[in-house]
Amino acid sequence: MEVSRPQQTLAAPVRFEGVGIHLGQPARIEVLPAPVDSGRLFVSQGQEIPALHERVSSVERCTVLSAGEVSVSTVEHLLAACAGLQLDNLRILVDGPEVPILDGSAMPFVKAFLAAGVVCQERPARRHVLTRPLFVHDKNALVLALPATETQLEYSLHYQHPMITYQQVTHTSTPESFLSGLAPARTYAFMEEVEGLLERGLARGGDLSNALVIRSDGYTSALRFPDEPVRHKCLDLVALGSGSGS
Ligand SMILES: [Zn+2]
């Protein structure tokens, strides 16, 4: 049985600055501590956008949250870091249309959050309990959720590609396993996909420092894990725990 834990927030504000991977524009955010029960809240152009499933307006290549005319793109790696470290209450000020991609993983967020400090708050965290099996599927993707006494994620990846055919990872939902097993895994794309993304106006801020590109005969940079792609997919799945994945 999972032990009930207190809600948590940051001990001090943290800033991130970089480029948005899809639009290629400068991206700045500031993550501030927030009171109990306030949840994770994005603020852009004066508009508050709670990080909740009902605010997801697009999941094409990245997760976009919207309220009215205002949107924030590529929230998933930041939200995975928040969920992975069990940071429940945060106010995230966004300057620009996207969250900075940094190195394409959740690690820069995690390191900065840990450096700032994680503090407990005076109320217990809310627990979501599944009472029956659920599944959703779309095209060739399927998510199956089963009731359990503790949260464990399993991700299986299938491609018809010379470098990846099948990868599978199992993740036990603790901050320690998130830190060592998922947070460093970078977002990835197949070389043959990259030109198509650029033609569609996506991945304009992508380069070899913030994404792993998979060629037919290898990778464009050294792998952080032998099975880094499936670990990144599982990282995106962790973000779902907070309301929002690519
Ligand atoms: Zn991702």
Q: Quick check: 157 and 229 in contact, CB under 8 A?
A: yes
The Å distance, Cα 217 to ligand 1 centre, comes to 23
**Which pTM was predicted?**
0.92
Fold of 6-127: Ribosomal Protein S5; domain 2 (3.30.230)
Class of domain 134-236: alpha beta
- The confidence score (pLDDT) of residue 194 equals 80
- The confidence score (pLDDT) of residue 197 equals 75
The Å distance, Cα 109 to ligand 1 centre, comes to 13
- The confidence score (pLDDT) of residue 106 equals 98
Q: What are phi and psi of 127, to 5 degrees?
A: -110, 140
Contacts of 188 (CB under 8 A, 6+ apart): 104, 211, 212, 213, 214, 228, 229, 232
Q: What is the distance between the alpha carbons of residues 35 and 9, in angstroms, rounded to a whole number? A: 8
The Å distance, Cα 118 to ligand 1 centre, comes to 24
Tens of pLDDT, residue by residue over 54-97, are 999 988 778 899 999 999 999 999 999 999 999 999 999 999 89
**β-sheet bridge partners, residue 190:** 214
The Å distance, Cα 159 to ligand 1 centre, comes to 17
- The confidence score (pLDDT) of residue 155 equals 96
- The confidence score (pLDDT) of residue 184 equals 98
Give the Å distances, CA to CA, from 20 to 88, 96, 203, 210.
Answer: 24, 9, 9, 10
- The confidence score (pLDDT) of residue 240 equals 75
The Å distance, Cα 63 to ligand 1 centre, comes to 9
Using DSSP bridges, classify how beta strands 14-19 and 26-33 pair: parallel, antiparallel or unpaired: antiparallel
Give the Å distances, CA to CA, from 75 to 48, 49, 158, 207.
Answer: 14, 12, 25, 19
- The confidence score (pLDDT) of residue 244 equals 37
| Token pair 């480029």 in the structure block, residue | 19
The Å distance, Cα 122 to ligand 1 centre, comes to 32
The Å distance, Cα 104 to ligand 1 centre, comes to 7
- The confidence score (pLDDT) of residue 33 equals 98
Q: What is the maximum alpha-carbon separation in the chain?
A: 53
The Å distance, Cα 22 to ligand 1 centre, comes to 12
The Å distance, Cα 226 to ligand 1 centre, comes to 17
Q: Which two tokens stand for residue 213?
A: 């590109």
Q: Per-residue pLDDT for the chain (246 aa), expressed as one digit of tens each?
A: 455 899 999 999 999 999 998 888 899 999 999 999 999 999 999 999 999 989 999 887 788 999 999 999 999 999 999 999 999 999 999 998 999 999 999 999 999 999 999 999 999 998 888 899 999 998 889 999 999 988 899 999 999 999 999 999 999 989 999 999 999 999 998 988 887 777 777 677 777 788 899 999 999 899 999 999 999 999 999 987 654 333
Domain spans of the chain, in order of start = 6-127, 134-236
The Å distance, Cα 123 to ligand 1 centre, comes to 31
The Å distance, Cα 127 to ligand 1 centre, comes to 25
